[in-house]
Structure formats: C-alpha cells, structure tokens
Amino acid sequence: MKGLKRVSHTINKAVSYTGIGMFVGLVLACVMQVFFRFVLNNSLSWTEELARYLFVWMHLIGASLLIEDNGHATVTVILDLLHGKARKVVNILIEAIIFIDGTLMLYSGVIVSYRSRTNVSTAMSIPMWVINLSVAVSGALLMFQAIVQIAVYLSDKAEKKEGSAE
C-alpha cells in the first residue's frame, strides 16, 4: 500500500509541476497578447490559441490532483448522514464511478486523437492530436488515482479488522 501511495504522490507532484508550468505559460501568453495588442498595436495571432490549449491541458490533468484529498465539488447531504461501513461503501462506489469516467475519457480521448491526427491548429500549426490527447491523459490519471483511493479505502477496512482482532 505504501508503494502505491508513493507512486501516486510522485505522479501528483509531476502533474502539479506540469500544471504550474502551464499556468505560467498561459499567463505569459495573455500578458504578451495584451501588451502587443494595446501597447504596440500589433496583435499576435498565436497567443490566444496557446493560452486556450494550455488552459485545457492544465485543467484536465489537474482534475486528478483533487482525488487524493477528496477535493472535487460534491453535495454531501446524504454522505454526511452515513458512518462506518456504509460510508466506506459509498466512498468506494464514488471512486468506482470516477474510474468508469476516467475509462470513458481515456477511450474517447484516444479515438478523438487518432481521428484528428492529420489536423493542425490554425495559428500555431500544432497537431490537433496533441491537444485532444489531453482527454486521454486526464482519463488515465483519473483511473489511476481512483484505483489508489479504492485501495486506501479497502486497506482501511483490513487494518481496522486486524486492529480489532488483537
């Protein structure tokens, strides 16, 4: 279990640093666009497109970071009423749904990326499969983090059983 958590933490750290880099790139692209458009009266054609693609990648890969700390927006009215085994079962069910969502994102992202392999973006001529691959990468990250959370919930049950037997 500790090894799985360590891998999860390492992946989260890499995703965090990647997201920070993308955010810095997004801010720089926006600042450049404003500066060139309003100060130099010479608008850049590629900065808006770069900012858009960085925004998409940043948010999609960042979604997996919230799983570890249960940071996704939720309505917990019913969940707050549950305790013990019932709450753990519901938490595992929620993670299973996240896993299924990640699976669908991975599958759809690969298909869309493959189908767009010959297209390029308008301003920057980036292959569109690179942009569309963000959905598949996000899906894979969601799947992995959901598996880790399910393992954590299941190991908590096993640890409590072992602790009560002593």
Domain ranges of the chain: 2-165
| pLDDT tens figures, 92-136 | 999 999 999 999 999 999 999 999 999 999 999 999 999 999 999
Average pLDDT taken over every residue of the chain: 89
pLDDT bin (cut points 50, 70, 90) of residue 54 is very high
Q: What percent of the chain has pLDDT over 90?
A: 69
Which of 43, 131, 143, 65 lies closest to 102 in space, CA to CA?
143
Q: What is the mean pLDDT of residues 51-68?
A: 92
Please give the DSSP secondary-structure letter assigned to residue 26.
Answer: H
The whole-number pLDDT of residue 157 equals: 56
Residue 136 has a CB neighbour count (10 Å cut-off) of 22
Based on the number of CB atoms within 10 Å of its own CB, is 29 exposed (0-12), middle (13-18) or buried (19 or more)?
buried
Unique residue bearing structure tokens 């880790």: 148
The whole-number pLDDT of residue 159 equals: 52
